Chains A and B, each alone.
Chain A
């Protein structure tokens, strides 16, 4: 069904999204899939066929997701985007969606190039990195995960399209997170940017990735066995009772500590390594609905009696204007 190139990282990510939703037993019709424009943005048509999707316009998926979320805060919103969509034209909306802490999962399928328009460098292409076209990128790149962290992102993760073992639990934790959950997923473009010289190729990633931890997410409902994951190095317990278990933690690593997360990005820039896994999360995160104090019942389900003040009130308003 997918029309993407054979071997495209994006299809693997789609599979991980579908698997995460399935393992969490989320009813597909309670999921909304949103995207902008680009190869990655095509993917909502290829998975979760009983979920509504909205393939919107270039760089504007965050605003569409925000509006959709406002209409019904009870659904699960999964937004997928590419580095053109998010780091260039969509940069403004990306930034403000993080500020508002919309309750959604934002998967950035990051390949350092514009696939659908045939191979231009994107803003996440590293300086000096060469795509198939050959010329090294002259500009410094935008590190979207680091940026998300700086902007106050309440859930920042980084992963790889080929690492289902890491990505699926991250997606589950992201879905469960009460706020903007950002996952920067390196997803090599086999057609335009998987060559030697590219810092977004399969090979480069394998050589430079450094997992900050091994992570497992267990929803509250599934905690039957008491000694499950006993001996985990760190356990994050969330308000709804779900837990995130972290093992093989990198040295001095605590993903609920903002300073250590930021330090890891700075170190990575120096060493050239790509930290993966759950980089940072704020378990106390509150989303835009809470910030706006909006109704618990979804806004799209409020009826006329609740919404329309009626003629008697209008008479009073008229009286106040005389």
Chain B
């Protein structure tokens, strides 16, 4: 059973030892060989000393979701060794540090062992303790070049790029690679059954994490103010924005920044700053995770009711409460959709890959300005913090920013009785003016309290209700301008369907193929936005059973569909994954096919 370009390898390290960069070298090399690769960093909420895993799936056919079964484990962490060995599929490989002999109880007859005395080899070659630790990892990468056909020159090129200008580091790394190469050639047969072959299949695809893509999208959308508070896993959104802003948004003449980034004292302040900046005509955003979303609730309600634009990027993680800060989940859906007390509903966007992170982040600013309300982009840790293969990003230079209904001084001169909340166009969206626009017209007090059409405080029951109803009308308008769902087939083939959103996409598209191999046809739809427009409703109506696949315990998307589209409960069948690790195609296939078998029997 050959496993060329189709296997899962998991690296098992101690965190804080430089393993992430060594393992990334592996993944990037596979990428550069033109083979689809999907690495996942499964790391602890800790700085140094605990187990960390880097799981890489290689798949020629381009299936990039997680898969059950580990074909090879490279283990340099004695603490996790027992569990790691259990996880290897029969016939698989265990590459381990044999400087100390393997304990008898870890011995499995049905797997192949590749003992390499990594620590000993590293200690012989390097005297500095930090070097010994770092280069130990590079030695096993060197070993893999021989064992798996990972191209040496590709790694060498990557090292030269990474350490360009630091010749000593490059040669030290290459020396470490060669130690691994030589050891394998001397002691083992190679290559293994699980191996790589160059394909050059990836055309112009790029390799990037979702958070960086979001940061770049914000730069392209013209965001000028970022206010944020650090939290795993969203910090790298802010870092991404800062990275690109420092390169691309500094005035070449004055040297001044065409942006402002504030690390706020907490999440409440972060969103408050976003509100102030947007109120005053700057595109501003923040990035956070579940706990931050909870804190931001009050200001989210202010955005909704006072109708102030803003973009909130929520990179979801394991909840509830502090939860699992370094694990992924899709469990903020309801909290985001209805954030804040009172009757509120918010526009949500669900990116599934880095390109959508870039595009939907950019779009969120247009939507937010147009609808004069907060837009929440729901990414997740798996997308945000792992490197993903992606289509290259595109930008149309003719594209204009949609700042929405903003009145200029000239506009105000023409208007007789301006009222901030007058529904002139009957679409629920009213006209605003930035502070400072006109000397004598267009000024009003923005407030979170009830107000009349002129933004004056009111307790009048009719005016309050009228305003609330107008916000519902605005919601209907939103349905027509948010992105449409993705439908995977030209026409329906089945009475059963899969429905999912976000990173579930990776596993779902593979599951569709797995089901088809078993003779089960399903149609599929991926939700990209909330509110749901008619296409979502029509799709569900056209099917008997819709499997709603989501990564949370309480079937939040199903709840949203039932409530917003009045779908009867029985029609939607939940397929759930909420253990913090991304869902697999195998799990989806199993649940769908067993449900259908049960119900057809």
Contacts and interface: CB of A to CB of B under 8 A. Distances in A.
Interface of A: 27-30, 32-34, 44-45, 49-57, 60, 62-72, 74-75, 92-93, 95-96, 100, 288-289, 292-296, 299-300, 302, 304, 306-311, 313-315, 317-318, 321-322
A74 B271 CA distance: 22
Contacts of A294: 256-260
Given A70-B262, A71-B224, 4 more contacts: A54-B276, A57-B298, A63-B269, A294-B260
A60 B262 contact: no
B330 to A, nearest CB: 26
Contact of A322 (B206, B219, B272, B446): B206
Contacts of B302: 56-57
Interface residues of B, number: 74
B258 A299 contact: yes
Nearest to A33: B445
Which of B204, B225, B299: most chain A CB closer than 10 A? B225
Given A27-B439, A44-B445, A68-B435, A32 B299 contact: no
B590 to A, nearest CB: 35
A69 B205 CA distance: 41
A295 B449 CA distance: 34
Contact of B276 (A33, A68, A96, A318): A68
Nearest to A321: B206
A71 B225 contact: yes
Q: Which 6 A-B pairs have the closest CB atoms?
A: A67-B276, A63-B272, A71-B282, A52-B435, A67-B273, A53-B445
A135 to B, nearest CB: 30
A64 B282 contact: no
A302 B223 CA distance: 10
A64 B276 contact: yes
Nearest to B220: A308
B448 interface: yes
B224 A302 contact: yes
Interface string B434-466: 111111100111111100000011000000000
B91 interface: no
Given A57-B448, A67-B225, A311-B396, A75 B276 contact: no
B352 to A, nearest CB: 18
A64 B258 contact: no
Contact of A71 (B249, B280, B394, B401): B280
Contacts of B255: 293
Interface in B26-50: 32
Contacts of A292: 257, 260-262
Interface string B211-251: 00000100111101101000000000000000010001101
B274 interface: yes
Contacts of B266: 92
Contacts of B269: 60, 62-63, 66, 92-93, 96
A29 B435 contact: yes
B264 interface: yes
Contacts of B207: 321-322
Interface string B256-296: 11111110111011111111111111101000000000000
B281 A300 contact: yes
Contacts of B438: 29
A86 to B, nearest CB: 14
B397 interface: yes
A218 B21 CA distance: 61
Given A71-B277, A304-B400, A307-B258, A50 B443 contact: yes
Nearest to B302: A57
B282 A70 contact: yes
A308 B222 contact: yes
B397 A310 contact: yes
B259 A299 contact: yes
A285 to B, nearest CB: 18
A306 B258 CA distance: 8
Contacts of B204: 318, 322
Nearest to A312: B397
Which of A75, A302, A317: most chain B CB closer than 10 A? A317
Nearest to B207: A321
A246 B15 CA distance: 62
A313 to B, nearest CB: 7
Contacts of A293: 255-257
B397 A64 contact: no
A321 B208 contact: yes
Contact of B395 (A30, A52, A311): A311
A70 B591 CA distance: 52
A295 B256 contact: yes
Contacts of B323: none
Given A52-B443, A67-B273, A304 B257 contact: no
Given A54-B445, A55-B447, A60-B299, A72 B220 contact: no
